Amino acid sequence: MSEPIKQIVILGGGTAGWMAAAALAKALANSGAGICVVESDEIGTIGVGEASVPGLQAFNAFLGLDEREFMRSCQATFKLGIEFVDWGALGRRYMHSFTGYGLAAGSRQFHRLFQRFALARESLGKTISFDDYNLGALAGRSRRFLLPTAGASSRTGNLNFAFHFDAALYARHLRQYAERRGVRREEGKVVAVQQHAESGFIEALTLADGRRVAGEFFIDCSGFKGLLIEGALRSGYEEWSRWLPCDRAIAVQSGNTESPLPFTRSTAQSAGWIWRIPLQHRVGNGYVYSSADLDDDSAEKQLRLHVQNGALSEPRRIRFVTGKRRRIWDRNCLALGLAAGFLEPLESTGIHLIQSSLLRLISLFPDRRFEPAEIDTFNRQTDEEICDVRDFIIAHYKLTSRQDSEFWRRCGAMEVPERVSQILQLFAATGRLTTRPEQLFTTQSWLAILYGQGSLPRGFDPLLAPMPDADLEREMAAVHQHLQHAVSAMPDHAEFVSRYCAAVAPPNP
């Protein structure tokens, strides 16, 4: 017989904690379960970045958030994708766009036509860009944006987008949402964790002033330390530094020197990469790097050279170990955000992994029996998702042809997980890819980085219907022209943001 959970305790606020509080307050509105967030003002939050993937639209819609209000409150801009600079080779740049390639209508898989066209051009000593046939990449390059509309060209389709936003303001926005729905916040620092003597289940948290916060289900959002999942339950950690060599980051905020761009930029450096994320009121900057190749002071100096208009804050230095908890849900405790694991923010997946774990939790929400089958299903599905994201990030490093530093020489030569190797080998043969529909990064994302970093298959699908070279040339030119025409009719991104969701004033520091 079901034994409903009556009290949920979330340890830690920040983005992860308040996303959890908001989502559970919505999902469990009629369950009678109480939700308490234990958060200490003494403990700062690292945050998981200031950019998302398109799935955040669905999470916000699940909560019923108004998009304009969310964007105003969080100083948000639109994000069409990520521009990668100097990753495949020095001087090469490309866009990982969220929008599909080619035209929306038609029965052909456009990338197969592109493969044939690119191979034909290569035989003549010419190169072409996959970005020239992508609505999002062309719009980003032109700094234009338009929300999806029912009246959009059936051939061109609509832009797919995500957001740049202030993660701290998003947490504040969600806290207000959650507290209006009955979530209680307890201020205090945890000094002890009480566990059942036999089962090891967590029973209560003891705060510095002696207060005791009891619960039946605990969500650990305590950051890298994993105070519950690791400190109390000793879940263990699976490290991935042999594939993902960066282990340090420095982050700093700067003022806007230009109108906000509708994309994130990642610029490869000699020992890692620098991010640039444009918000309405400022720019987020950071350097993710390998401490084996660059010391912290030198990394900070390099980052400052890339920060325009001066820093608005002191640089924050962050140490991390890429990987995940061996059991992200252990007994009556589920880890979320940095407590669950860490993947560098190259593809802005931190918030997405919080969101997907929460939606998965809701679909498998337990009662007080904490059935092992539900926990095992959650862990298996979560592990698969994180490993899919990990493999996509690994591919960015492996696909480089740079030989200008020891860091990049190691990356290009490293042994990669078998599943990454299989993807790369299959593509190299005939341009085929075998991604699964449920993966976050599907075929179009893999194609973006493969072509963008200079990978070209040796041949093309032999079952593809032949097309004379002249016809193929006309077809590709027509696609590019049609997309360019659609982009030229779009408004400027910064002007669109100003009309649609301009924030009243920058937030108080």
Burial 307-319 (b: 16+ CB within 10 A, else e): beeeeeeebeebe
In a domain, 2, yes or no: no
Contacts with 436 (C-beta within 8 Å, 6 or more apart), sequence order: none
Sign of the torsion formed by the C-alpha atoms of 387, 393, 395 and 397: negative
> Distances in Å between the alpha carbon of 102 and those of 63, 130, 173, 213, 222?
33, 9, 38, 55, 44
Over 90: is that where the pLDDT of 408 sits?
Answer: yes
pLDDT tens for 43-99 read 665 554 589 999 999 999 999 999 999 999 999 999 999 999 999 999 999 999 999
- 499 in a domain, yes or no? no
Residue-wise pLDDT for 136-187, tens only, equals 999 999 999 999 985 555 678 899 999 999 999 999 999 999 999 999 999 9
- Looking at the domain assignment, is residue 383 inside a domain? no
242-246 average pLDDT score:
96
Indicate whether 214 belongs to any domain.
Answer: yes
How far apart CA 304 and CA 42 sit, in angstroms, is 28
Contact by Cβ (8 Å): 484, 133: no
Phi-psi region of 115 (alpha: psi -120 to 50; beta: other; left: phi over 0): alpha
User: pLDDT class for 489, splitting at 50, 70, 90?
Assistant: very high
Distance CA 27, CA 221 (A): 19
Q: Are residues 189 and 335 in the same domain?
A: yes
Quick count: other Cβ atoms within 10 Å of Cβ 504? 7
pLDDT score for 105: 59
pLDDT surpasses 90 at 120: no
Tokens encoding 218:
């605990």
Task: Give the pLDDT mean for 198-204.
Answer: 98
What does the alpha-carbon distance between residue 322 and residue 55 come to, in Å, rounded to a whole number? 23
Judge if 400 and 436 occupy the same domain.
yes
Residues 236 and 104 in one domain: no
Tell me if 103 is assigned to some domain.
yes
- Regarding whether 422 and 284 lie in a shared domain, the answer is no
3-state secondary structure of 195: strand
Residue-number span of the structural domain to which 109 is assigned: 97-159+389-493
Residues 88, 71: contact at Cβ < 8 Å? Answer: no
CB 457 within 8 A of CB 106: no
pLDDT of residue 124: 79
Number of domains the chain is built from: 3
| Interval 291-343: pLDDT, tens | 999 999 999 999 999 887 778 888 999 999 999 999 999 999 999 999 999 99
